[in-house]
Homo-oligomer: A and B are copies of this chain.
């Protein structure tokens, strides 16, 4: 596929801007040849105006029509074939194999939302007609702005979860592609454009603009036609967008999934039984994808038992024999090193082990660090996300200290507890404390690897996200882009199909307080 460096504005392509940028191959630091044209204010405005016009048509389409669009996007992505995977590798430094998996996840996500639409009950239809005739269902908010994430060029980017769930909800979408993978963004953007044309979606249902400067994103967030924002990235970026959106004359919801350090608690009996095995698996979870996951376990809390030494030694060994690998961008690698240095320089923190530097390029070196709860509690820097392949072991002196540690945590995406049945009974209070701290709790597992299903929550209390009431992964993500609309005393012919007397769609509906199909 020839990359043109164009922005995708509905059915058109456009490159009016004079500012261009290139992607970089993080494996060798060289610039890739193509010039991508940063979208101009005018182009962004065109994308948003088209999104508004398209929304007026798209919101009234049937669920089946929208489902076909999503399925066709999945097909078009698959038909990009190995070219796509190769470009993903070139722009991210991650292995082609990884992108086989990520592509599968991306297209399955699109298909899952298509299934959700075809089943139809997600609209949460409610009918009360014992007194007044009052009916309710979820309707789409309006055009949605989506910010692609650097660490998942497919699954959290142009055709990622935000776009898939917004399109499923009935919203048109304007994506700002992440400047680290503009070629992948263009390829995927064109696949969506093609799918829109094939399935006769309105011109403007999808646009994708390129940009390296902060103004491109700001223009989307500020545009009066945009009614919600999806974002995955850093705390700094997400919080800035959240603040900008709240300063608008009409504030809009921002779903920013930001930093998280994902504490892992190892309990006393399990560390005796299989501490070494857990230590080895911890290393795998920490260095997977060069640690560039939102759910990377950055804090590991260890109990005060003799066998802790064995665990720590096993972890050290595992990190000793680990290797560096290429990080997504020069910026991410610099930031990783800077955050590591900051952490190392905190009183009471020591580096226990580092992996070997294997090659040139933007290499992130695995780090195992250590401190204790007493130092941690006095220093909030230690709870900061270090985005990369590192974890901080935190030695606790007592159960009371573990509980104190947990109570002091701010919001995270996940928390994990490793324990035998006995441990878990003994530490039930710890788990209850953690209920308030995260969006997802795991027992005897690792937080990396987020399954796309109905029950998944990828979210959590601030500062992990700007809206703990929502999830950005799983079918629940669709409700981020909808609101309830109530119809009172409507004649049947004016009601949406989902709310007519006759339930021809055969969806679940709450009728006078009872769920019926």
Interface residues of A (CB under 8 A from B): 59-60, 119, 121, 126-128, 131-132, 134-136, 139, 141-142, 242-243, 246, 250-251, 253, 410-411, 421, 424-425, 428, 431-432, 435-436, 438-445, 451, 453-457, 459, 461-463, 466-471, 476, 479, 482-491, 493-494, 508, 510, 512-513, 515
Contacts and interface: CB of A to CB of B under 8 A. Distances in A.
B455 A135 contact: yes
B439 A485 contact: yes
A466 B251 contact: yes
Nearest to A453: B128
23 contacts: A126-B455, A126-B476, A128-B451, A128-B456, A132-B451, A134-B456, A135-B455, A136-B456, A428-B494, A440-B487, A441-B485, A443-B488, A443-B490, A443-B494, A445-B489, A454-B512, A454-B513, A457-B485, A469-B479, A469-B484, A470-B483, A471-B484, A476-B484
Contacts of A488: 440-443, 445
Contact of A462 (B121, B250, B462): B250
A429 to B, nearest CB: 10
Nearest to A246: B246
Contacts of A493: 424-425
Contacts of A59: 435
Given A485-B435, A494-B431, A128 B455 contact: yes
Contacts of A484: 439, 457, 459, 469-471, 476
Contacts of A479: 469
Query: When A and B form their complex, which 6 residue pairs have the shortest distance between CB atoms, in order from nearest?
Result: A457-B486, A126-B455, A440-B486, A136-B455, A128-B453, A442-B488
A469 B468 CA distance: 14
A121 to B, nearest CB: 7
Greatest chain B CB density within 10 A among A442, A494, A515 is at A494
Contacts of A435: 59, 139, 485
A165 B447 CA distance: 33
A485 to B, nearest CB: 6
Most chain B CB inside 10 Å of its own CB: which residue of A126, A139, A485: A485
A317 to B, nearest CB: 26
A291 to B, nearest CB: 20
A140 to B, nearest CB: 9
A436 B486 contact: no
Given A445-B488, A490-B441, A482 B456 contact: no
Contacts of A454: 126, 128, 136, 510, 512-513
A165 to B, nearest CB: 14
A127 B128 CA distance: 28
A131 B487 contact: no
Nearest to A245: B246
Nearest to A131: B451
Contacts of A487: 440-441
Given A421-B491, A454-B510, 9 more contacts: A59-B435, A126-B454, A128-B454, A135-B455, A251-B466, A435-B485, A439-B483, A442-B488, A459-B484
The CB with the most chain B CB atoms within 10 A, among A438, A441, A469, A470, is that of: A469
Given A136-B455, A246-B243, A428-B494, A468 B442 contact: no
A513 B251 CA distance: 34
A432 B495 CA distance: 11
Contacts of A431: 494
Contacts of A443: 488-491, 494
Contacts of A483: 439, 459, 461, 468-470
Q: Which of the listed residues A424, A441, A476 has the most CB atoms from chain B within 10 Å of its own CB?
A: A441
B456 A486 contact: yes
Contacts of A424: 491, 493-494
A511 B131 CA distance: 33
A121 B469 contact: no
B508 A515 contact: yes
A121 B515 contact: yes
A453 B510 CA distance: 11
A262 to B, nearest CB: 13
Given A435-B139, A515-B121, A453 B246 contact: no
A484 B136 CA distance: 22
A469 B485 contact: no
Nearest to A228: B469
A489 B488 CA distance: 44
A242 B253 contact: no
A459 B486 CA distance: 10
A59 B433 CA distance: 11
A237 to B, nearest CB: 16
Contacts of A508: 515
Contact of A453 (B131, B243, B494): B131
A131 B442 CA distance: 15
